[in-house]
Homo-oligomer: A and B are copies of this chain.
């Protein structure tokens, strides 16, 4: 059976928490908003908040962690004579497309993006996840290309790619570019960075 009463209720309180949090963050700022306030606005106890989100930061980008899985899967399903450069380009393109389709298109994401760019605490949180993603991509590449012996070189390539794309996206967003131009900037950054690898 698809979804019982219990799961529906749980999902509803979770969504109520997210909505309350975003609304409060927008109105009084991230730091000025306490978890107790969020819980009260969602009409649940403070304790319940932490049953749904491990930290206060997680409520901002709730459910935005599926992109890495996507990229890893692309890498692991590489064709036998695809070069590492091609596979990486495909993986990055895949992630960019995913971002363009979900995060940047909807309006709620706008608030989130602005929060992420302005609140240093959230920046740190995002970077932590980004670093984790980078590590997993490097691991996937090493698994798919066991003949490649220089892990550090692979890591450098991935680091350059991720660094270029995120930096371009950050500055484009900060400048106030519309979604299409942001993705265009990300693509351009990825393309220019990938050019430097020959093998």
Contact = CB atoms under 8 A, between A and B. Distances in A.
Q: Is the interface of A mostly helix, strand, loop or mixed?
A: helix
Interface stretch (A68-76, A90-98, A155-163): A155-163
Interface of A: 120, 123-125, 127-128, 131, 134, 138, 151-153, 155-168, 170-172, 175, 177, 185, 188-189, 192-193, 195-197
Contacts of A177: 152
How many copies of this kind of chain does the complex include?
Answer: 2
Given A123-B128, A127-B127, A156 B152 contact: no
A92 to B, nearest CB: 12
A155 B173 CA distance: 12
Contact of A164 (B124, B128, B163, B172): B163
